[in-house]
Structure 1
Amino acid sequence: MTEAELFAHPDYPVPGHGKVWFAATRDRAQLRFASWRPTVRPVRGSVVLVQGRAEFIERYSETIAELRRRGFHVLAFDWRGQGGSQRVVARGRKGHVGWLRHYEADLALALVQMREKLPGPYFVLAHSMGAALCLDAARHGALPVSRLVALAPMLDLTITENPKAASRLASLLFWLGLGRAFIPGGGDTAIATKPFDGNRLTSDPARYARNSALSASARELSIGDPTIAWVRTAFQLMARLNAPQVAREVRVPTLVIAAGRDRVVSTPAIERFAARLKTGQALILPTSRHEILMESDDIRAQFWGAFDAFIPGEDGAIDAGVADTVPAVSAGEQSERGLVQRLAGGGEDAPAPGGAAAVP
């Protein structure tokens, strides 16, 4: 995608009235950004959405709309090498990053864009790889936000049987000059376009079908499997975060939400990390798979109950033209709030078969 625009799927449109632009990191990588104003008042601040590997802005349309209905400005961006941001290898379907510092530069740019374009207070909602990068930034003062919600952070992998051996192999292959090669057996097919049955991401067939349709239609936004260099970078990040003292260094109040049926990242590793946080708590959603924001309505209601209890509201001036209505709170969200307040209130391709109708 060479112009600053969002992909318009006829059945799953992105929220309207957004702004889209490119900005360059300090090492000149061009990243795609998008932002939206809230649809209610009072304005409560701004939320930065930080996605995981192989994702893109359009996949979060439902979440963006829900945040806007809660009174938040929203900023979203694509990491380098995926979505609408600059590809860093000739074969653009490879999920590639060369070094950990590249992702750190991407996140730093997103936080600069946040402060330049959106009003505070600032919050981060991050998933998987993005959540891990935000936790790492938060431990050395590089995440200047009021609160962080980290969903299924990538602290250890369950997708491989022997992570230590995989880490050593990735490092060896990287230094042999194979960093830009796919992982063994890897290819261009986007994970979201694989069959629903047996998928590791969500138990919700409708949202899976939606994401599959998006990935199939917007091939230029989708990527396939990761490269050797990406795997090496991921293991470096996870090793850094699993050092015993690291969690205690996180100074941003943090709510960590893990998925009880996660078969991508390790929920026990997340629990151990959260237990060491000085300014955070953990909540486990026992029936959720890895992509909590793409899960079924009842699981998502538990998430939103936790989010609403943890993220404080703050009155602010309302922009002209923003609606007066207050976002509705579902019965499922209300039922979760008491529990969560006690826990956290203070602190290729074709669409995959087996899908269902569009989510309203």
Structure 2
Amino acid sequence: MTDLLFETDANQIPARTHSGMLEMRDGKALRYAVTQAASRPQQGTVLVLHGRNECIEKYFETIADLARRGFTVVCFDWRGQGGSSRMIHDAMRGHIDRFDDYVSDLDQVFRELILPDCPPPFYILAHSAGALVSLLAAPVLANRVRRMVLVAPFVGLPGSRLGVNGIRFATRTLGLIGLGRRYAVKNRYQAGGRPFADNPLTSDPGRYMRNAEIVRHQPQLGLGGPTVRWVSASLNAIDRVNDPDFITNIRIPTLIIAAGADSVVSTAAIERFTTQLRNGTLLIIDGARHEILQEADFYREQLLAAFDAFVPGSDEPETTIATEPAETA
């Protein structure tokens, strides 16, 4: 069944895909898609975790790439976005009370969807905020997930520490006085998003327009800016995963891929974080913008080659390797 998913001429639903809604413990529902492997031998299952203001449809190309490699692929929309239940009355506000709600949803997806129905071993391919959730969940995923590939993980904001501390103070204060559901920035939703020339996400016009078409045809999948509470919760999550005591409990071998021209998350923060991981490897793709899986082939193929070299891998411990960043574009 694929009637919960939407396709365009340029963005077809991958073959052998079925979809559904998974009810969460609090009554919210997550939209999911499962795509069967398209080749043999079967390599296991990859859970694709996208970022804020993304949806399953945006990852059809990546899902098909993984299926051709012999992986079953699972992808779902986080609560509050895509085709999953929205959190507040204004459905276009990107809202969450705490990132632990995402972690709880991820645990339930594993328990009720992946473990019973998908072939092991299990891997995670996560982007941005989805990668931050993966890190938060990593200590309890150690007995389930063999390896993780985290793309442009949201472990720090660009800019000065003083500026980030100001955002942290402002959002906490606004939350305490009851304004947590207000937009954090004046970035209301518009179908199709900003013009390609102004975007910080990808240098590939074809993929950018393909993704914009998804929302133009299905505007209910879109999302506006984050709320004050979402920003505050994300900064709290970033503080937690950067705590050295927390990092010591991340034991899953992890490949982190950063974008050399990223202006959305801090590549310097990603470097600092990776050097503290026991089983972490860092690759910086020079010149790539934030959404490397939506980037031009020159950048995207470097990511896929790194994925192929790292997954499926083995259960043997990895050595922490941090590459030196190249000059950014």
- TM-score normalized with structure 1 length: 0.83
RMSD value, Cα: 2.1
- Paired residues of 2:275 and 2:321 also in contact (CA < 8 A): no
Deviation at 1:159, TM superposition (A): 7.3
Counterparts of 1:68 and 1:27, CA distance in 2: 32
Counterparts of 2:3 and 2:248, CA distance in 1: 40
One-letter code aligned to 1:169: A
- Paired residues of 1:156 and 1:265 also in contact (CA < 8 A): yes
State the SS of the aligned residue for 1:270. helix
Matches within 5 A, 1:1-360: 5-112=4-111, 113-141=113-141, 144-158=144-158, 162-189=163-190, 193-312=193-312
- Paired residues of 1:127 and 1:150 also in contact (CA < 8 A): yes
Deviation at 1:142, TM superposition (A): 6.2
Counterparts of 2:142 and 2:91, CA distance in 1: 30
Deviations 1:140-189 (A, max 9, x none): 44672100001110001127981110111111111111111111323122
**Count of aligned positions:** 315
- In structure 2, the residue matched to 1:348 is none
Counterparts of 2:147 and 2:185, CA distance in 1: 39
**1:143–1:164 distance in 2 versus 1, CA, 3 Å:** farther
Counterparts of 1:177 and 1:143, CA distance in 2: 40
Q: Which runs of 5+ in 1 are unaligned?
A: 315-340, 345-360
One-letter code aligned to 1:68: A
State the SS of the aligned residue for 2:123. strand
One-letter code aligned to 2:278: K
- In structure 1, the residue matched to 2:325 is none
Deviation at 1:342, TM superposition (A): 11
Higher relative CO (Cα under 8 Å, sequence separation at least 6) belongs to 1
- Paired residues of 1:159 and 1:263 also in contact (CA < 8 A): no
Q: Percent identity?
A: 40
State the SS of the aligned residue for 2:221. coil
State the SS of the aligned residue for 2:231. helix
- TM-score normalized with structure 2 length: 0.91
**1:243–1:17 distance in 2 versus 1, CA, 3 Å:** same
**1:108–1:76 distance in 2 versus 1, CA, 3 Å:** same
One-letter code aligned to 2:273: F
State the SS of the aligned residue for 2:258. strand
Deviations 1:115-134 (A, max 9, x none): 12201010000000010110
Q: Which runs of 5+ in 2 are unaligned?
A: 323-329
Counterparts of 1:204 and 1:306, CA distance in 2: 20
Counterparts of 2:77 and 2:136, CA distance in 1: 19
Counterparts of 2:313 and 2:238, CA distance in 1: 33
Counterparts of 1:246 and 1:8, CA distance in 2: 40
- Paired residues of 2:142 and 2:252 also in contact (CA < 8 A): no
